[in-house]
Structure 1
């Protein structure tokens, strides 16, 4: 049986990848008996639905999109931060 920590990790991972059959069954069973994890699962599903809608709305409306220069600056800043974090102890 999964712990709540394991279940929450699987709930989160399920947004990024397909769970194995064993993982799905273990998670389903845990969600049936754990109210807190079931709530967490519903909350993540709601957040994902809102984000998907927002992304589709953004793609349809040019005025909601970031200018290319802003995207490039953000990408460069992230790359710099990632490189710097690799050199930190």
Structure 2
């Protein structure tokens, strides 16, 4: 069975690229048994979505004096 450290690595990786079939399967199995990792996955997704919403495009909307 996958350890939490590897599951966390895959959770982070899936924010940047699609996981392979084997990676998805392994992660899904681990998440089905580990509540702490399910919560971590939820938080990774939330942070990724917030980053996209308020990322560099948001900063470009401001002029040079920060307004």
Q: TM-score scaled by structure 2?
A: 0.82
Distance 1:64 1:37, change over 3 A: farther
Q: Greater share of helix residues, 1 or 2?
A: 1
Runs ≥4 residues deviating over 2 A: none
Report how far residue 55 of structure 1 moved. 2.2
Q: TM-score scaled by structure 1?
A: 0.63
Aligned residues: 64
What runs of 5+ residues in structure 2 fail to find an aligned partner? none
Distance 1:64 1:26, change over 3 A: farther
What runs of 5+ residues in structure 1 fail to find an aligned partner? 66-89
RMSD of equivalent CA atoms: 2.0
